Chain A
Amino acid sequence: MANEAMEQLVRKEYKQGFYTDIESDTLPPGLDESVIRHISSIKQEPEWMLSWRLEAYRHWLTMTEPHHWAKLKYPSIDYQSVSYYSAPKKPEDAPQSLDEVDPKLLETYEKLGIPLHERAALAGVAVDAVFDSVSVTTTFKDQLAEAGVIFCSISEAIREYPELVRQYLGSVVPQGDNYFAALNSAVFTDGSFVYVPEGVTCPMELSTYFRINQANTGQFERTLIICDKRAQVSYLEGCTAPQRDENQLHAAVVELVALEDAYIKYSTVQNWYPGDEDGKGGIYNFVTKRGDCREDRAKISWTQVETGSALTWKYPSCILRGRDSVGEFYSVAVTNNHQQADTGTKMIHIGENTRSTIISKGISAGHSDQSYRGLVKVAPSARNARNFTQCDSLLLGASCGAHTFPYQEIGNASAQVEHEATTSKIGEDQLFYCMQRGISEEDAVNMIVNGFCKDVFKELPMEFAVEAEALLNVSLEGAVG
C-alpha cells in the first residue's frame, strides 16, 4: 500500500512540474513513533525535543477526534494515509524562480493584485517554508539582528535558541490541550519563531506565507512568538494551497506570549484551497491559536480574514492574566459553495481590570454553513473585567446558514459584558439602490460586503487590508446572480 501511495505521490509531483528528486526525504504515509523519531532526527533536534514530541504522541493516542460540539460535518480522518514529512533533499531543489512555481499560485497572486516583485518574493518564501522551513527572514536578518529581534524557522530556533524554546514551547497550548494540538505537538515540521527583546519595537512587519504543496501531505506548522517586557511586534501570516480532489489536513498551533507592557498584533489572511463548487477537495483546517497576556498591561490582538479551507475549526484566544491586560479579536470569515466554518474566540479574564473586544463578521454564500462560537470567561479574580462582543452575520442567497453560539461564564459580579448580534440577508434594497446607479450586481455585492467588514479591515496592517478586500471579492465570485 505504502509503495503504491508513494508512486502516486511521485506521479503527482511530476504532473505539478515541481521537482524530481524527492524520495529520500519524503516519508511514506503513516504515523508511529519511528516517524516522529525520523522527523526529529532530520531536524537535528536535541533529545528533550524528541521526548516532548513522543510524550505528545502518546497522549494523542489516548484521545478521540472531536466530532460532537462543533457544527461541522466531516468523515473521520485516516491519519495513516497522511505523509508527515516532505522536503527536498537539497534546498536547491526548491523552485528557484517564478517560472518553476505552480501557475495556479501565480494566478492567485495575480488575482490578489500583489505587485510583481513582492509576489516573486512571496512565492519563493511560501515554497521554501513548505519544503524545508527556510523562513522569510533572510532578506532582513541584518536589520532585525541589529534590533536584537530573532525571526527564524522553529526548527532553527530549537537548534540555535534551545533555552528560549524550551521555556516557552507548550506554555500557552500544552501538548495535550486538544486532539489536534496534541497531533501537532508530536509531528510539527515547520513554522516561525519570533523573539523580541525587552524594550524593542520590531522595526518592520514580520510575515510568513504558508503553503501546502504536496498531495497526501499534512501540514503541521508551529509558531511561537514571545514579546519581552515593553516590546512590540506585528506579525502577518498568509496561507494558500493548490487545488486537489482529496481533502488535506492542516493542524497548526500558534502560541503568543506577551510579558509586561508588551504588544503582539497577529494578522492572518487564510486562503487555503476551499474545495470546488461541488464541495470536492479542500483543506481541513484545525488550528489552535492562543495568546497569553502573562504580565501586567500586556496586549494581544488577533485579526483574521478567513476565506479558504473546506472546513475551519479555529478559535484564536487570549488569556488575560496580567492586570490591565487587553485582548482583541477582529474576524471576517467568508464561506461559499460547500465550505463549513466553526470559528470564534475565547477571552479568559483572570487579572483585574482586564478588557477584551470581539468583533466578528461572518458572510455565508452558496450552500455553506458558518458558526460563530465564542466564550467570554471572567474568573472570580478578575475584578472590573470588561468585554464587548459584536457579532454580525450576512447571508447571500437562500441555501446558506449562519449560527451564533455565545458562551459566557461570569465569576465576578463587577464584570461588564456586552453582546450584540445581528443576522441579515444582503439587502435587496441595497443591491437595487447600487444597481439603479449603474453599478453591476457583482460590484454592488462586493461594495456592500466590504462595507460590512470595514470595522475589521481597518484593524489590518495597510498592505494587508488591500489584499483582504481583493481576496473577499475573489471568494464571492459567482455568489450572487
Chain B
Amino acid sequence: MLEIKGLHAKVEGNEILKGLDLTINPGEVHAIMGPNGAGKSTLSAVLAGRDGYEVTAGEILFEGDNLLEMEVEDRARAGLMLAFQYPVEIPGVKNVYLLKAALNAQRAARGEAEIEAPAFMKLVREKLAQMKMDKSFLHRAVNEGFSGGEKKRNEILQMLVLEPKLAILDEIDSGLDIDALRVVADGVNSLRSEQRGVLMITHYQRLLDYIVPDVIHVLADGRIVKTGDKSLALELEARGYDWLLEADAS
C-alpha cells in the first residue's frame, strides 16, 4: 500500500533523507528505529505533507497514487494518518468538535453522508472506554492542558475513530509511563488488521515489547541501513547503532 523509492528530502537546505526505500503491505506493522538526527521525523513529515520539507528526488506511491502530488487533507482523506510526536493545542476548540469535523470531512470525501449524532456519540464513547479516557475529555479543548500521556492517548483515540488505512506513529512512546504505554499499545494493537498498515517510528526498543512489529528497519543518515525481524531490536538494544553506521560507511 505504501511504496517509497529513492526518496531524497531537504529541510532548510540540508539534505536529510538520502535515497530512502521502503515498502509496506496491508496487514504489516513496520518499525523504524535509528539514532537522533537520522531523519525519522522528517520521513513522517514528508509522508503527511508538511510545509518546509522539500522532496528533491524519488517517489512515494500510496495505494498506487502519487502521494507527493496530493494535498495534506487529501492524503488524510485517502487514509493516511499521523499520530504526532507533539500534538498541538487548539484553545477553544472542543475535542469532540474536531473529531466530528474530521470524521465528516473524511466521510464526505468517500461520498458518505454525515454521521448521525447518536451514532457518532455511541462510537466515540466506545473508543473512549477502550482508551480508558473519561467522557470529560470530549469537552476539553483539543490537547489544551493535557499531560503528555493524555495527548498520546488522544492521538490513538482519533485513530480508533477515523480508522486510517495507514497509521503512522511518530515517537508515540515518548513521555509515557508504563501504564499509559500499555493503554496506547493496546489501542494500536486493536487497529492491526489484514487491510491496515502501521508504521511506527521510535527511538526505544521498549515500545516493541508492547507492539510487536513484523519488520524492523534501521534508519541512519537518511537511508535504511538494515532491515530485519523483531530480533533486530534486541540486537540494537545490546549493541547500539554504531556498529551499523560503521558497517555502512566502509
- Do A452 and B82 touch (CB < 8 A)? no
A451 to B88, CA, bound (A): 14
Given A429, A439, A441, A451, which contacts B102 in the complex, CB threshold below 8 Å? A439
| Complex interface: chain B residues within 8 A of A448 (CB) | 90, 93
B188 at the interface (CB under 8 A from A): no
A194 to B77, CA, bound (A): 53
| Complex interface: chain A residues within 8 A of B92 (CB) | 450-455
> Do A436 and B91 contact each other (CB < 8 Å), given the known contacts A443-B101, A447-B97?
no
A438 to B50, CA, bound (A): 14
A427 to B91, CA, bound (A): 11
Interface 1/0 per residue, A304-321 and B, CB below 8 Å: 000000000000000000
- Shortest distance in angstroms between B57's beta carbon and chain A's nearest beta carbon? 24
Interface 1/0 per residue, B161-187 and A, CB below 8 Å: 010000000000000000000000000
Given contacts A434-B101, A436-B76, A448-B93, 4 further A-B contacts (CB under 8 A): A432-B48, A433-B90, A436-B49, A443-B101
A437 at the interface (CB under 8 A from B): yes
* Residues from 422 to 448 in A contacting B, C-beta threshold 8 Å: 427-430, 432-441, 443, 447-448
Given B49, B84, B105, which contacts A433 in the complex, CB threshold below 8 Å? B84
- Do A441 and B73 touch (CB < 8 A)? yes
- Do A430 and B90 touch (CB < 8 A)? yes
- Shortest distance in angstroms between A342's beta carbon and chain B's nearest beta carbon? 25
A selection of 24 A-B contacts at a CB cut-off of 8 Å is: A427-B88, A430-B88, A432-B51, A432-B72, A434-B98, A434-B101, A435-B76, A436-B49, A436-B72, A436-B82, A436-B84, A437-B81, A437-B102, A437-B158, A437-B162, A438-B106, A439-B105, A440-B73, A440-B105, A441-B73, A443-B105, A447-B98, A451-B91, A451-B92
Interface 1/0 per residue, B76-108 and A, CB below 8 Å: 110001101001101111000110011001100
A395 to B197, CA, bound (A): 39
- Do A451 and B162 touch (CB < 8 A)? no
* Residues from 7 to 49 in B contacting A, C-beta threshold 8 Å: 48-49
Given A427, A432, A439, A451, which contacts B50 in the complex, CB threshold below 8 Å? A432
- Shortest distance in angstroms between A423's beta carbon and chain B's nearest beta carbon? 14
- Residues of chain A touching chain B, judged by Cβ–Cβ distance below 8 Å, are 427-430, 432-441, 443, 447-448, 450-455
Q: A-B contact count, CB below 8 Å?
A: 77
In the complex, the chain A residue whose C-beta lies closest to that of B50 is A432
A81 to B77, CA, bound (A): 56
Given B84, B90, B93, B102, which contacts A438 in the complex, CB threshold below 8 Å? B102
- Do B93 and A451 touch (CB < 8 A)? yes
Given A428, A429, A438, A451, which contacts B76 in the complex, CB threshold below 8 Å? A438
A454 to B75, CA, bound (A): 30
A432 to B84, CA, bound (A): 11
- Residues of chain B touching chain A, judged by Cβ–Cβ distance below 8 Å, are 48-51, 71-73, 75-77, 81-82, 84, 87-88, 90-93, 97-98, 101-102, 105-106, 109, 141, 158, 162
- Shortest distance in angstroms between A428's beta carbon and chain B's nearest beta carbon? 7
- Do A435 and B88 touch (CB < 8 A)? no
Given A427, A430, A439, A454, which contacts B73 in the complex, CB threshold below 8 Å? A439
- Do B90 and A451 touch (CB < 8 A)? yes
| Complex interface: chain B residues within 8 A of A455 (CB) | 92
Most B Cβ at <10 Å: residue of A438, A451, A454: A438
| Complex interface: chain A residues within 8 A of B162 (CB) | 437-438
- Do A447 and B101 touch (CB < 8 A)? yes
A439 to B97, CA, bound (A): 12
- Shortest distance in angstroms between B182's beta carbon and chain A's nearest beta carbon? 25
- Shortest distance in angstroms between A392's beta carbon and chain B's nearest beta carbon? 10
- Shortest distance in angstroms between A440's beta carbon and chain B's nearest beta carbon? 6
| Complex interface: chain B residues within 8 A of A427 (CB) | 88
In the complex, the chain A residue whose C-beta lies closest to that of B77 is A438
In the complex, the chain A residue whose C-beta lies closest to that of B72 is A435
> Do A437 and B98 contact each other (CB < 8 Å), given the known contacts A432-B51, A450-B93?
yes
In the complex, the chain A residue whose C-beta lies closest to that of B93 is A451
A69 to B180, CA, bound (A): 56
A439 to B109, CA, bound (A): 10
| Complex interface: chain B residues within 8 A of A429 (CB) | 88
| Complex interface: chain B residues within 8 A of A447 (CB) | 90, 93, 97-98, 101
A453 to B49, CA, bound (A): 29
> Do A436 and B81 contact each other (CB < 8 Å), given the known contacts A430-B88, A443-B101?
yes
| Complex interface: chain A residues within 8 A of B102 (CB) | 434, 437-439
In the complex, the chain B residue whose C-beta lies closest to that of A392 is B91
A448 to B158, CA, bound (A): 18
| Complex interface: chain B residues within 8 A of A441 (CB) | 73
A435 to B48, CA, bound (A): 10
